[in-house]
Structure 1
Amino acid sequence: MASGGAWFLYSHDGGDSVANARPVPPHEVTISRPLVRDLDTRLGFLGQFSAVDQVELRAQVGGTLTGVHFRDGDIVHKGDLLFTIDPVPYEIRLAQATALRRTAEARLVLAKQELARARELERNDAGTTQNVEQRTSELNAAQAALDDAAAQIRDARFDLDRCRITAPFTGRIGRHLVSTGNLIAGSRGATSPTTLLATLVSLDPVYLDFDMSEADFQSFSQYRGDAKGPIANRVELAAGNSTTYTRQGTLDFVDNVLDRSSGTIHARATVSNADLRFTPGEFSRVRLAVAHPAPTLLVPDASVLPDQSEYLVMTVSTDGTVVAKHVEVGEIRGGLRVIRSGLSRDDRVIVDGLPFAAPGTKVATRDGAIRYEPKQN
């Protein structure tokens, strides 16, 4: 009897639990229809900054380097003294050229006097025409010698002035490659080897170089032909690790030939760099418009799920079933992801609760909102 009572109680309790079991309610997710805004189509590229002006500082005269007048990495201004070369040999040469000019001047004075006397003798029938011609020739030779001496002075002064190497423009100078006391080679032309002393690059503005594919170039060319004003040549950039395009530049050069080996064409923008934010050689993301504003669908980037080489957006049908849709995505605009195809403006996109939204399952929904952040545009 005791065992029968125990079985009765167990059977009674188990039956009551089964009868009271209820189905698990569906998980709740937040949905919203895609945000629709009129946006232009933009393409993104990876660019690299380069200096507008870049020069290798080399001596035009040889000699012993006697001074380095900057610190490595300094910003130097146009006309600042950078290097000095021992001027003594060139001062001596200038003094020699000056002495030659004085000699030539004295000979010219003498030649003029002798020519005057020869002409006077000829008029008095005391001299010959041959003598006059000889004195005239000596006068011309003295004048040529004076001109040559003057040219040698200019040449010597040119070399002496080149003993002081100054900055040809304002920019940042690199490290000095030759120390004081070294003998350096110099030349006025590129016919003989010269010693590289340092490099100098300009800083403001800077170039931003990038390459466009042939298809992108064709789209841009069509847009550029239709657009009016400077907006057609405006580019936006995000340097370094930044993901926000806070700076602008002007597209001022597109090459005239497509590179057939790579299928790209080179383009260049000029960017203001008054705050010295950008450094030549640094990489930057760059984007430019290639189509006029048109209605564009936007969803939160977190709502776009990668699926191997494709992307999915989870939506909820009218009966509460989760439906996955393959989409083609674009860039980030206003903190949201551009959807180029695969969604309609009436789709109900899951914007929160994705971990509970497996395709084909039932979910409960509550309405949410998608917000556009203009500062992140």
Structure 2
Amino acid sequence: MPHDETSRPVAIGLVKLLLASTAMLVLASCGEGKAAGNAAPPAAVSVANVLFKPIQQWDEFNGRVGAVDSVEIRSRVSGYVQRIAFTEGGEVRKGDLLFVIDPRPYRAALDSAVARLERAQASAALAQKQAQRSDVLLKANAISHEEAERSRAGYVQNHADVSAAEAAVAAARLDLQFSEVRAPFAGRASRAMLTVGNLAVADQTVLTTVVSQDPVYVDFDPDEQTYLRYLAQARQGTMDSLPVRVGLVNEQGFPHLGRLEFFDNRIDPATGTIHARAVLHSPDHRLTPGLYAHVQFAGLNSSEAFLIDDKAVLIDQDRKYVYVLAAGDKAERREVKLGPINHGLRVIEAGLTTKDYVIVDGLERVFYPGAPVKPTVVAMDTTAELAAASATPGATGVATAGAK
């Protein structure tokens, strides 16, 4: 049969199309094989079972350290500063000499008062003898009753003059003593407000300040709801027996243990808070008045809670989540509601159960939810818990209610 010349180009085109399709299929199959050969292995991670145990709940507040005793040192007498007898910023003991006001005018005033007292005593002695003589003469009818009464009145008057002179001596002696300004209690002194040669006005000029250092107060302001909860719990015990923990800004945890001193008698309507005060011993004088402090205040009741290692918690904008081990050894993202820290472990208020295993190590190898993982079961890390327990002797738990 004769060939159609017009059909030859069509056949050639079909052959080329078939060859091209075959080549594309071969390349695609090779690519799939290469991709399958380069698939990443499951990420090696450590997982730990969620803990569930009783804890002592603590609430955290911001506070300030304050001195139990604080005084502005003022001179009780006027005069020029003659001597500064303390080290500025140093510690002083009760009764230590701080300032000396020029004592010479007050020593002269004391000498003058003593001289007046001696004169009054001499006059009183003479008046007493005259009164005794008058009594003898009156019995012998040698003088009139009027003269005898005048002698007795003179004796009484001179005796009163002696009492007044004795009071003047005591006042002058006090003024001389007040020329030496001494510390009213043990503590730390501030700087000297006046230098030598300046005039100090009695009861007006502040010479320095002294604050006590042990014990100290820590003042904080619980909110109204927290206060009402404490008030309800206090029916089961004494309010001032509740423990308080304090930590400074450069300290880990809350190493200083104290007790509640008092709650104020009214809620501040402007802030919805009530003033509270704790008292702590500070034998090393580290708790300087005025320092900012983190305060933990414990309720009376303990409760059970879910706990995980805090390093397992991840943050996506305002959302907190963890990766848990899902069926098929895959990393499942689970959003959680965070509670306080308790002995270094994070309290989980919602999102987990005791059946869940949380990824606590190897999170940097989990790139997306549902990623395959190779889990190794470990115990929930309690290193931080043990460290926190040893940092506060006698304490039962640590929590930060504001660490959400």
TM-score for both structures, normalised by structure 2: 0.84
1:215 pairs with 2:228: no
**In structure 2, what residue type is equivalent to 1:290?**
G
Q: Counterparts of 1:93-112 in structure 2 under 5 Å?
A: 93-112=109-128
- Change over 3 Å in CA distance of 1:108–1:19 after alignment to 2: closer
Match of 1:314 among 292, 312, 323: 323
1:161 pairs with 2:173: no
Give the structure 2 partner of residue 186 of structure 1: 202
Give the structure 1 partner of residue 30 of structure 2: 17
Offset at 1:275? Answer: 1.1
Q: How many residues align?
A: 366
1:284 pairs with 2:275: no
Give the structure 2 partner of residue 87 of structure 1: 103
C-alpha distance in structure 2 between counterparts of 1:268 and 1:46, whole Å = 12
**In structure 2, what residue type is equivalent to 1:370?**
M
Match of 1:197 among 207, 221, 234: 207
Q: Counterparts of 1:318-357 in structure 2 under 5 Å?
A: 318-357=327-366
Match of 1:147 among 163, 169, 174: 163
**In structure 2, what residue type is equivalent to 1:45?**
F
3-state SS of paired residue (2:31): helix
Offset at 1:347? Answer: 1.8
Give the structure 1 partner of residue 11 of structure 2: none
**In structure 1, what residue type is equivalent to 2:31?**
V
CA contact (8 A) 1:184 1:195 kept: yes
Q: Counterparts of 1:222-301 in structure 2 under 5 Å?
A: 222-227=232-237, 232-290=241-299, 292-301=301-310
CA contact (8 A) 1:233 1:251 kept: yes
Moved more, 238-247 or 169-178: 238-247
CA contact (8 A) 1:111 1:135 kept: yes
3-state SS of paired residue (1:275): coil
1:67 pairs with 2:83: yes
- Change over 3 Å in CA distance of 1:229–1:208 after alignment to 2: closer
3-state SS of paired residue (2:125): helix
C-alpha distance in structure 1 between counterparts of 2:183 and 2:66, whole Å = 19
CA offsets per residue over residues 53-95 of structure 1, 9 Å max, x none? 1111000001111100111111111111111111111111111
CA offsets per residue over residues 95-129 of structure 1, 9 Å max, x none? 11111111111111221222223222222222111
CA contact (8 A) 2:42 2:374 kept: no
CA contact (8 A) 2:239 2:260 kept: no
Offset at 1:316? Answer: 3.1
**In structure 1, what residue type is equivalent to 2:262?**
F
Root-mean-square deviation over aligned CA pairs:
2.5
The answer for unaligned runs of 5 or more in structure 2 is: 1-15, 390-404
- Change over 3 Å in CA distance of 1:291–1:365 after alignment to 2: farther
Offset at 1:233? Answer: 1.6
Offset at 1:352? Answer: 2.5
- Change over 3 Å in CA distance of 1:180–1:348 after alignment to 2: same
1:46 pairs with 2:62: yes
- Change over 3 Å in CA distance of 1:313–1:116 after alignment to 2: same
Offset at 1:292? Answer: 2.3
C-alpha distance in structure 1 between counterparts of 2:174 and 2:310, whole Å = 66
Offset at 1:220? Answer: 2.1
3-state SS of paired residue (1:255): strand
CA contact (8 A) 1:42 1:291 kept: no
C-alpha distance in structure 1 between counterparts of 2:320 and 2:40, whole Å = 31
- Change over 3 Å in CA distance of 1:291–1:26 after alignment to 2: farther
3-state SS of paired residue (1:44): strand
1:137 pairs with 2:146: no
Match of 1:363 among 358, 369, 372: 372
TM-score for both structures, normalised by structure 1: 0.89
- Change over 3 Å in CA distance of 1:297–1:19 after alignment to 2: closer
C-alpha distance in structure 1 between counterparts of 2:103 and 2:181, whole Å = 12
Moved more, 47-56 or 114-123: 114-123
1:376 pairs with 2:388: yes
C-alpha distance in structure 1 between counterparts of 2:335 and 2:29, whole Å = 47
3-state SS of paired residue (2:196): coil
**In structure 2, what residue type is equivalent to 1:369?**
A
- Change over 3 Å in CA distance of 1:321–1:15 after alignment to 2: closer
CA contact (8 A) 1:321 1:359 kept: no
C-alpha distance in structure 2 between counterparts of 1:329 and 1:355, whole Å = 21
CA contact (8 A) 1:214 1:265 kept: yes
Give the structure 1 partner of residue 141 of structure 2: 125
Give the structure 1 partner of residue 46 of structure 2: 30
3-state SS of paired residue (2:307): strand
Offset at 1:330? Answer: 2.0
Offset at 1:16? Answer: 5.6
C-alpha distance in structure 2 between counterparts of 1:71 and 1:101, whole Å = 40
